[in-house]
């Protein structure tokens, strides 16, 4: 039996990116039950990719009740629906086998990974204050993507002078804006910029200088994306809601590394259940960005542990 439930988790404060603001995380929870054993997965439908809660629910409800991971890959495309089902099937397999998912996948035992903490788009004054509140965190991610980003960059660096900083433009810049900002990004100690140009309109990245690493987010979904990134990007951001689950995420990580890309593992704004499988993918990667639960005012039972060592692998009671 496969059930799909829409759930909402309040955010601790308004979260804003270049495309808009939100006050809650809207997720779909998938439960697959067989023989009295239940596996769970979570996804976050994303309007940027033409997904809604309703459309993703319909995709999942259209699957055969006896679906297996191997056949799932061909029945649903990469995206949120396949992610929730794939992760639920991994969880189910682990529980039925009495093992952890990392064992079933042939991975080494996972450990904690330092994760970025995201500062949402706001006025320079508010972003400086937010940076100061979180200056103790080792890695800050700044949401930008407007023509007025330079004061925001300066403000965050002033608020957190010792933190490592990465920047996510969410497709909000033009090639000219990025070229103008790049020297200032370097001056302010920014280590990487994520998706500066719109996906599908990023050819100029192969023509202009890239003085700091550029990471593909919206331009990279699964292994089929990799050929189109050549010469334009230095890193890829792997998100399970883009790859369509843990199965493809692990395969994409290996293929990206083999192709010479550094890897970032990111997330949509979801609960600990959504982050749990991604922690396995994030082992040893260049950048981990799995701070979704840190942005919530409420989370699931047996939530992921975050401390000075980073985000810890999930307890079996949560997932896997």
pLDDT one-digit tens code per residue, 270-283: 999 999 999 999 99
Half-sphere exposure (Cβ direction) of 70: Cα atoms closer than 13 Å:
0
Q: Which whole number is the average pLDDT over 289-295?
A: 96
Specify the pLDDT at position 132.
97
Which residue has 């082992």 as its token pair?
283
CB atoms near residue 183 (< 10 Å): 12
Taking the C-alpha atoms of residue 158 and residue 155, their distance in angstroms, rounded to an integer, is: 5
Specify the pLDDT at position 17.
76
What integer best gives the mean pLDDT of the chain?
A: 95
Decide if 136 contacts 113 (C-beta within 8 A): no
The active-site residue out of 95, 141, 143, 232 is 143
Residue 9 pLDDT exceeds 80: yes
The active-site residue out of 95, 141, 232, 239 is 239
Residue 18 pLDDT exceeds 70: no
pLDDT tens for residues 83-139? Answer: 999 999 999 999 999 999 999 999 999 999 999 999 988 899 999 999 999 999 999
Read off the pLDDT band of 155 (50, 70, 90). very high
Specify the pLDDT at position 22.
81
Question: What does DSSP assign to residue 173?
Answer: -
Q: Is 143 known to be catalytic?
A: yes
Taking the C-alpha atoms of residue 44 and residue 242, their distance in angstroms, rounded to an integer, is: 10
pLDDT tens for residues 181-239? Answer: 889 999 999 999 999 999 989 999 999 888 899 999 999 999 999 999 999 999 999 99
Which comes out higher in pLDDT, residue 38 or 173?
Answer: 38
Specify the pLDDT at position 121.
85
Give 98's contacts (C-beta < 8 A, 6+ positions apart): none
Taking the C-alpha atoms of residue 33 and residue 20, their distance in angstroms, rounded to an integer, is: 37
Residue 14 pLDDT exceeds 80: no
Specify the pLDDT at position 143.
87
Decide if 169 contacts 198 (C-beta within 8 A): no
E strand or H helix at 95: helix 80-97
Q: What percent of the chain has pLDDT over 70?
A: 99
Taking the C-alpha atoms of residue 283 and residue 296, their distance in angstroms, rounded to an integer, is: 23
3-class DSSP assignment, residue 16: strand
Least confident of 65-69, 120-124, 165-169, 275-279: 120-124
Specify the pLDDT at position 52.
97
Specify the pLDDT at position 20.
73
């Amino acid at each position: 039996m496969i059930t799909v439930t829409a759930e909402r988790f309040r955010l601790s404060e308004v979260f804003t990116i270049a495309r808009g603001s939100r006050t809650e995380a809207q997720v779909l929870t998938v439960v697959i039950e067989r023989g009295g054993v239940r596996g769970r997965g979570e996804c976050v439908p994303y309007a940027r990719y033409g997904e809604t809660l309703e459309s993703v629910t319909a995709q999942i409800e259209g699957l055969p009740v006896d679906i297996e991971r191997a056949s799932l890959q061909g029945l649903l495309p990469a995206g949120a629906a396949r992610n929730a089902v794939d992760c639920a099937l991994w969880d189910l397999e682990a529980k039925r086998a009495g093992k952890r998912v990392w064992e079933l996948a042939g991975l080494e035992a996972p450990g904690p990974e330092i994760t970025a903490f995201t500062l949402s788009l706001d006025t320079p004054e508010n972003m400086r204050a937010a940076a100061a509140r979180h200056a103790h965190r080792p890695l800050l991610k700044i949401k930008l993507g407007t023509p007025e980003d330079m004061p925001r960059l300066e403000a965050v660096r002033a608020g957190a002078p010792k933190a490592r900083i990465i920047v996510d433009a969410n497709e909000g810049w033009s090639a000219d804006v990025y070229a103008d900002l790049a020297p200032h990004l370097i001056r302010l100690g920014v280590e990487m910029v994520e998706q500066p140009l719109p996906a599908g309109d990023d050819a100029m990245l192969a023509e202009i200088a890239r003085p700091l690493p550029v990471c593909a987010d919206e331009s990279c979904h699964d292994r089929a994306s990799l050929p189109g990134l050549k010469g334009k990007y230095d890193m890829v951001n792997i998100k399970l809601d883009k790859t369509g689950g843990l199965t493809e995420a692990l395969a994409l990580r290996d293929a990206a590394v083999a192709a010479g890309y550094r890897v970032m593992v990111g997330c949509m704004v979801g609960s600990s259940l959504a982050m749990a499988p991604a922690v396995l993918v994030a082992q040893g990667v260049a950048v981990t960005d799995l701070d979704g639960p840190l942005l919530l005012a409420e989370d699931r039972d047996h939530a992921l542990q975050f401390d000075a060592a980073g985000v810890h692998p999930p307890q079996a009671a949560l997932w896997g």
